[in-house]
Amino acid sequence: MSNGYLVLTRYRLYNRIARQNALKCVLPAIQELANRGYVDEKSIGIQGHSWGGYQIAYMLTRTNRFRVAEAGALWAT
């Protein structure tokens, strides 16, 4: 934890095609952190890039858990 922020940096998807796996992995991890008192449940953000950005966009359509989100990708030509 640094400057009041806690960063959950990794999660494992068992099937990259099934977007629901991201929800099944990320939401319980966040809930466990909240249960332990590590996070303020009203101040949770999420960020992803490339495939992670796609997962973030999907999760935002399925839950109101996140106060802020950033999803991005770099296009190479």
**Does residue 13 surpass a pLDDT of 70?**
no
CA distance linking residue 52 with residue 66, whole number of Å: 15
Whether the CB-CB separation of 9 and 42 falls below 8 Å is answered with no
Count the domains in the chain.
Answer: 1
Asked if residues 44 and 30 have their Cβ atoms less than 8 Å apart, the reply is yes
Q: Residue 13: inside a domain, yes or no?
A: no
User: Does residue 2 lie in a domain region?
Assistant: no
Decide if 34 contacts 41 (C-beta within 8 A).
yes
Tell me which residue range forms the domain holding 32: 20-68
Say if 52 falls within a structural domain.
yes
Average pLDDT over residues 43-60: 87
Position 75 in a domain: no
pTM score over 0.85: no
In a domain, residue 28? The reply is: yes
Which pLDDT belongs to residue 48?
86
Which residues are CB-neighbours of 34 under 8 A, at least 6 positions away?
41
The whole-chain average pLDDT of the chain stands at 82
